[in-house]
Amino acid sequence: MLSMAFAFGGIGPWEIFSATLTTVIILASMSAIGLYCSSAFRRSVHATAVSYAVVAISVVTTIVFFVRLQLYESAHSQVAHAGDTWYHIPLNIRAPMYVNPFFFLTASFAPPKQLYPAWITCACVFIAIGALAVALTLRNLRRSGEL
């Protein structure tokens, strides 16, 4: 699909590269979560269900928290925030979105000069989540004697 959009002139090489890199990072961290669940549960059915639940919770709860915090902030703020950009939203309100895979993928479509705060932060968060899941998986495997 990305190649078709590139062939018809819809996007450039940078967008293909950043979307592919973002997808690989998300895939690696979600796979690491799945490996952790497989090492924590005896049955693969349970591991699969819990890993799917973790991904669904990371998507749904981050959106709910963000919307709720944003509504709370706008209800208690004296200044109108119409037309504000993402970076005018306080960090404590936008922080849950850095764990959302869809936000991370959306942030990858920013121009290269604007990638720093959102995309780099999301990349670091997802890499840290993946590394933590791998470390916990190795710990579980050592405890069970399988490693």
Residue 9 belongs to some domain of the structure: no
CA distances from 42 to 38, 39, 46, 48, 141 (A): 7, 7, 8, 11, 12
Residue 71 belongs to some domain of the structure: yes
Average pLDDT rounded to a whole number, residues 135-144: 92
Convert the pLDDT of each residue in 21-67 to its tens digit: 999 999 999 999 999 999 999 899 999 999 999 999 989 998 898 88
Range of the structural domain that residue 67 is part of: 28-144
The pTM of this model reads: 0.81
Residue 16 belongs to some domain of the structure: no
Convert the pLDDT of each residue in 75-132 to its tens digit: 776 555 555 566 777 777 788 888 999 888 888 877 777 767 788 889 999 999 999 9
What local confidence, expressed as pLDDT, does residue 16 receive? 79
What local confidence, expressed as pLDDT, does residue 69 receive? 82
Residue 1 belongs to some domain of the structure: no
Evaluate whether 129 touches 33 at the Cβ level (below 8 Å): yes
Residue 138 belongs to some domain of the structure: yes
Give the number of domains in the chain: 1
Residue 18 belongs to some domain of the structure: no
pLDDT tops 60 at residue 18 = yes
Residue 116 belongs to some domain of the structure: yes
What local confidence, expressed as pLDDT, does residue 60 receive? 92
Residue 34 belongs to some domain of the structure: yes
